[in-house]
Structure 1
Amino acid sequence: MTLRVAHTAELEPSELSAVRALLDAAFDGDFSDEDWQHGLGGMHVLVQDDAGLAAHGSVVMRRLRHRGRWLRTGYVEAVAVRADVRRTGLGGRVMAALERVVERAYDLGALSASEDGARLYTARGWQRWPGQVHALSPDGIVRLPEEEGDLYLWPTLAGPLDPAGELVLDWRDGDVA
């Protein structure tokens, strides 16, 4: 089994196709083109085994505002493990590599987690954001109550954030968080 960390620009088209196929299968076809775009343009972690791509995750740069300060945020995206090798530690290996990128390159780490994914992230030290979540939309700042409770943070240089202060995410098409 091999683990590789590479920027999107370093991935071959065949590797990108394999990542997209893994994500489509892992999310039972509920991985949109916008979700795909959210995971590109940053660093990828790919785990290969004898059967091919076994696990993947990426971290991309976003901006999150807290208490008037915009933080360079490593936002974790597109984490998936092939069905036949789930629960074997590959998700943890992917996250460990992504966390190293976040710690070395960003003020803060963030991700939005499903109920199933949250177990992996909290076990690794990711902390659920208990405060309000907003986004800087084309129409101004809007609250995203549907995202509250699903956002997890990995504090680095920013230190702990005050839950009394809202988090404002930069805008993007599709799911904002």
Structure 2
Amino acid sequence: MRLRHTHQLSAAERDTLRAFLSDAFDGDFADFDFDHSLGGLHVLADDHAGLVGHASVVQRQLIAGATVLRTGYVEAVAVASRRRREGIGDALMVCVEDVIADAYDLGALSASDDGRPLYLRRGWEPWNGPLGVLTLDGVRPTADEDSILVLRTPTHPGLDTTRRLICDPRAGSAW
């Protein structure tokens, strides 16, 4: 596993990463999805043929009830199709979770149906309260209520996951 901040990736490495993610998500990985994965720490797994796994942790501000939480938000978790079911996803998440535990108040992600079992097995929990996004016109409810998972950290172990959770705005999908 290699850890690199976005600023440490060359233009060619970013292009390779973008192509890898598009392939890993079977072409269902939009430009805004890639943009969401930038600006933070990348966990990269390689083998003899090149990149086989990726996950990134970017900082977001989430508001749980009345508490603003510096959140390590996980984006673009992917494993090359030829290397799936070999533990690479778990290895990526070990690194991601270490970063979150050491640097953030909370970990969060929007889980795909395929990825959800991996995260739940690793101790991530569903957020059970209502979700929203902060806009210029106030808080707007979002419809991602069944896909948001959180990872508690030592700084907020008793966080109430039934409260409303609000994310900061961004282009593309809110979560």
Question: Smaller-chain TM-score range?
Answer: over 0.9
Letter in 2 for 1:175: S
Matched, 1:8 2:6: yes
Using the aligned pairs only, state the percent identity: 47
Which structure 2 residue ranges, 5 or more long, are not aligned?
Answer: none
Structure-1 residue corresponding to 2:147 = 150
Could you tell me whether the CA contact under 8 Å between 1:22 and 1:81 is conserved in 2?
no
Match of 1:66 among 53, 59, 64: 64
| Equivalent-residue separation in structure 1 for 2:137 and 2:31 (angstroms) | 24
Q: For residue 19 of structure 1, report the CA deviation from its aligned partner.
A: 1.2
| Equivalent-residue separation in structure 2 for 1:131 and 1:106 (angstroms) | 21
Q: Secondary structure at the match of 1:103?
A: helix
Q: For residue 124 of structure 1, report the CA deviation from its aligned partner.
A: 0.7
Q: Secondary structure at the match of 1:78?
A: strand
| Equivalent-residue separation in structure 1 for 2:130 and 2:5 (angstroms) | 32
Structure-2 residue corresponding to 1:172 = 170
Higher mean displacement: 87-96 or 132-141? 132-141
Structure-1 residue corresponding to 2:28 = 30
Q: For residue 11 of structure 1, report the CA deviation from its aligned partner.
A: 1.2
| Equivalent-residue separation in structure 2 for 1:35 and 1:75 (angstroms) | 13
Structure-2 residue corresponding to 1:134 = 132
Given the superposition, is the C-alpha separation of residues 101 and 163 from structure 1 closer, same or farther in structure 2, using an over 3 Å criterion? closer
Letter in 2 for 1:10: Q
Structure-2 residue corresponding to 1:55 = 53
Letter in 2 for 1:154: L
Q: Secondary structure at the match of 1:28?
A: coil
Could you tell me whether the CA contact under 8 Å between 1:71 and 1:158 is conserved in 2?
no
Q: Provide, for residues 110-129 of structure 1, a one-character-per-residue CA deviation record: whole Å limited to 9, x for no partner.
A: 00001110011001111111
Q: Provide, for residues 128-177 of structure 1, a one-character-per-residue CA deviation record: whole Å limited to 9, x for no partner.
A: 11111111012210111x20010000011122322331001111110010
Match of 1:123 among 121, 124, 127: 121
What TM-score comes out, normalization by structure 2 length?
Answer: 0.96
Letter in 2 for 1:173: A
Could you tell me whether the CA contact under 8 Å between 2:127 and 2:162 is conserved in 1?
no
| Equivalent-residue separation in structure 2 for 1:142 and 1:172 (angstroms) | 13
Q: Secondary structure at the match of 2:115?
A: helix
Which structure 1 residue ranges, 5 or more long, are not aligned?
Answer: none
Alignment of 1:92-107 (within 5 A): 92-107=90-105
| Equivalent-residue separation in structure 2 for 1:30 and 1:121 (angstroms) | 21
Letter in 1 for 2:68: W
| Equivalent-residue separation in structure 1 for 2:125 and 2:33 (angstroms) | 23
RMSD: 0.9
| Equivalent-residue separation in structure 2 for 1:164 and 1:124 (angstroms) | 20
Given the superposition, is the C-alpha separation of residues 164 and 55 from structure 1 closer, same or farther in structure 2, using an over 3 Å criterion? closer
